[in-house]
Amino acid sequence: MLEFITRLFGKEYKSKNIAKERLRLVLVHDRASISPQMLESLKLDLIKVISNYMEIDEENLDVSLDSSGNTVALVANIPVTGMKRTAG
């Protein structure tokens, strides 16, 4: 019985956190006046430029906007797998 209650409230808690995170992202995008398409384009441009200098794990790359007070920050988590000897 306790396991059932834990699973029930655990899923609700996860759903609540996911919903809060999605809402936060929507609000940040709205405050920054940037569309999801523009953010994706920015992400592709970052990959292109950084790939000239470093070997990166594109599958685990994460680019997002984060809000703190009245400011919005671009946050990029880009796993580097290696460095290139020459640019280009």
Residue 17 lies in a domain: yes
Residue 88 lies in a domain: no
Structural domain including 19 reads: 2-83
**pLDDT score for 54:** 92
Alpha-carbon distance of 85 to 57, in angstroms, equals 17
Answer whether 81's CB lies under 8 Å from 55's CB: yes
| C-alpha 69, offset from chain centre | 19
Alpha-carbon distance of 42 to 22, in angstroms, equals 20
Q: What is the dihedral of CA 8, 13, 16, 20, to 10 degrees?
A: -170
Q: Whole-model pTM above 0.75?
A: no
**pLDDT score for 2:** 47
Residue 10 lies in a domain: yes
Residue 43 lies in a domain: yes
Q: What is the pLDDT of residues 14-73, one digit of tens each?
A: 677 777 777 766 666 566 677 778 888 888 898 899 999 999 998 898 888 777 777 778
Provide the number of structural domains found in the chain: 1
